[in-house]
Amino acid sequence: MSSTDLDLAALGLEGVDLEGVDLEGVDLDGEDEEGEGGDDEAKAAARAEAARERAAAIDAMSARVLEGALAEAHRALVKRGAVLFPMGADASVSTYFEAPRRGRMSKEDFELSAASSPDAFLSAVRAMWEAEGFAEMVPVAEGLREVGRALAEVPEDESGEVSGFVYAMF
């Protein structure tokens, strides 16, 4: 199946660029196999299947960013010797305390326009990375836009709960 054959609206992926996403083995036709008039159980099963398919598609998009833009950013950062954060002790520094990014918040700091949509959010992230001199990371933000758009179309209960580990990590 080609990504161009898909009914993206039926999958809740309207406007999402699936080009290059590996869809092998993923049933993305979005049709209820029981057809109209199927019983509730069949409809629920079809919805669950559609949700699984949407999740698989989003996983595939994320994987594409991870293996593409993010891997490239990692290689470029390593090549130029950029350190995103230190991984251990450093005898050359007198203290590990750092000045805060901001000690207080101004009124403007409280008002985050980037919260209005995933696109605005990723634009803010991109701008920050550019300002910090992490140009290598910019394609990551761009690559994640389609993930953000896809997730915006996914029903609430499919957008994933946070595992305990994700909390610990993030």
Partner 1 sequence: MRVLGISAYYHDSAAALVDGGKIVAAAQEERFSRKRHDPRFPKEAINYCLGEAFLQGSDLDAVAFYDGPVLTFDRVVKSFAAASRPDAAQFSAAMRSMLGVKARVAAHVEEALGGPPAKLLFADHHLSHAASAFYPSPFEDAAILTVDGVGEWATCSLARGSVEGVEILEEIRYPHSLGLLYSAFTYYCGFKVNSGEYKLMGLAPYGEPVFADKIRDHLIDLRPDGSFRLNMEYFGFVEGDRMTSEAFDRLFGGPARAPETRITRREMDLARSIQVVLEDAMLALARRARERAGSVNLALAGGVALNCVANGRVLREGIFDKMWIQPAAGDAGGALGCALLAAHSYFGEARPPREKGRDGQKGSYLGPRFSGAEVRAFLSRNDYPYRRVEDEGARVREIAEALAAGKVVGYFSGRMEFGPRSLGARSILGDPRRADTQSVVNTRIKFRESFRPFAPSVRVEDVGEYFELGTESPYMLLVAPVKESRRKPFSVAGREDMIAIVNEPRSDIPAVTHVDYSARVQTVHPDDHPAFHRLLTAFKEETGYGVLVNTSFNVRGEPIVCTPKDAYRCFMRTDMDLLVLEDCLLDKAAQPAFEEATDWRTEHELD
Structure tokens of 16? Answer: 């999402």
Contact with partner 1 (CB under 8 A): which of 25, 100, 131, 133? 100
Decide if residue 104 touches partner 1 (CB under 8 A). yes
Q: Does 57 bind partner 1 (CB under 8 A)?
A: no
Of 47 and 75, CB closest to partner 1: 75
The reply to whether 131 sits near partner 1 by the rule CB under 8 A is no
Q: How far is the CB of 17 from partner 1 (least distance, A)?
A: 15
Of 35 and 170, the one with the shorter C-beta distance to partner 1 is: 170
Cβ-contact 148, 17 below 8 angstroms: no
Figure out which of the listed residues 84, 131, 135, 142 binds partner 1, where binding follows CB under 8 A: 84
Contacts 24+ apart (CB under 8 A), 59-64: 60/21, 60/22, 60/23, 60/26, 61/16, 61/18, 61/21, 61/146, 61/147, 61/150, 62/147, 63/22, 64/20, 64/21, 64/22, 64/143
* Phi-psi domain of 20 (left: phi exceeds 0; alpha: psi -120 through 50; beta: other): left
Work out whether 111 is an interface residue with partner 1 (CB under 8 A).
yes
By CB neighbour count within 10 A (0-12 exposed, 13-18 middle, 19+ buried), where does 77 fall? middle
- Binding partner 1 by CB under 8 A: which of 6, 16, 28, 154? 154
Residues binding partner 1 (CB under 8 A): 58-59, 62-63, 65-67, 70, 73-74, 77, 84-90, 95-105, 107, 109-112, 114-118, 121-122, 124-125, 128-129, 137, 140, 144, 147-148, 151-152, 154, 156, 159-170
